[in-house]
Amino acid sequence: MTLHKHQGQFTWDQVNILKYKEEGTHFKDITRQILFAGQPDLPCQWRYFEIAPGGHSTLERHHHLHVVMPIRGAGQALVGTEILALTLFDVVHIPSLAWHQFRATGSEPFGFLCLVPAERDRPERPNAGQLEDLKREPNIARFIRV
Amino acid sequence: MTLHKHQGQFTWDQVNILKYKEEGTHFKDITRQILFAGQPDLPCQWRYFEIAPGGHSTLERHHHLHVVMPIRGAGQALVGTEILALTLFDVVHIPSLAWHQFRATGSEPFGFLCLVPAERDRPERPNAGQLEDLKREPNIARFIRV
């Protein structure tokens, strides 16, 4: 039995606060914690991401789908061609190959659970032409950060 | 893209409130909601269970492991031979074949997220001998409901 006791402020006993990604300038003020790393019998990972006010995740897509649930604060997400306002306990299924990006809105950190397959493809960022296509929609052009 | 907007009170848009199990007297006042049903690429289910004050889940075990996180109220769980006090956002990994049972404590419903493999074995309830073994520990004898 493993118990990761919540220590308050969305940190957990024996769970490290990790960099979101090793390097890059395509994200801002975001951390990652692995709550369940996956096992052969349950081949998925359950993570907690937290974006500080003003921060954002990478604009990216990948073949694997994932499922997200905010548990702290509020934010917005681009998913495909839609911009969603996300509040506590909403559940979003992000389909394969949908472009997506998360942003914190408001003055509180935006934290969300994220479920992914334990084995998954690496995210892809938009090339110049894909970015141009995305930006044809003015709302998306205003939303995204690259 | 699927968005199950949280409607307050731990119900979600287009998510049905289901019976915990089809039949039985070995559980009390508990409901089930499926937030993500699983897909070949992400072969796990993400559920929300809610136990009303005074209620409990079935005392059971199974080969598949699962991961649990309370998001409403507080409760207690037997996991193996330990009785845990569970509060908001704790994370518990329940190993294969560990006997387990959840109970709501306090006057508020106890709601928790539960992650399981999409394909999994059916739970097993203790037989008379196993129950006798469990009850050798006075704390466990007092805790369990069958």
Q: In Å, how far is B134's CA from the nearest CA of chain A?
A: 17
ipTM score assigned to the predicted complex = 0.95
Q: Which of B57, B56, B71, B54 lies closest to B107 in space, CA to CA? A: B54
B44 noted as active-site residue: no
How many angstroms away from the CA of A113 is the closest CA of chain B?
11
Q: Are A71 and A112 in contact (CB under 8 A)?
A: yes
Q: What is the DSSP letter of B77?
A: E
pLDDT digits 0-9 by tens, B44-100:
999 999 999 999 999 999 999 999 999 999 999 999 999 999 999 999 999 999 999
- Beta strand residue intervals within chain B, DSSP E: 2-4, 18-19, 28-36, 44-56, 66-72, 74-79, 82-86, 91-94, 100-105, 110-117
For residue B31, the distance in angstroms to the closest alpha carbon of chain A comes to 17
> Which chain A residue's Cα is nearest to B63?
A41
Residues of A in contact with B65 (CB under 8 A): 39, 41-42
Domains and CATH numbers, chain A: 25-77+89-143 (2.60.120.10)
Residue contact B1–A80, C-beta within 8 A: yes
Give the global pTM: 0.96
Find the residue in A nearest to B66 (Cα): A42
Which pLDDT tens digit goes with each residue over A18-52?
Answer: 999 888 888 999 999 999 999 999 999 999 999 99
3-class DSSP assignment, residue B142: helix
Taking only the tens place, the pLDDT of each residue in B81-91 is: 999 999 999 99
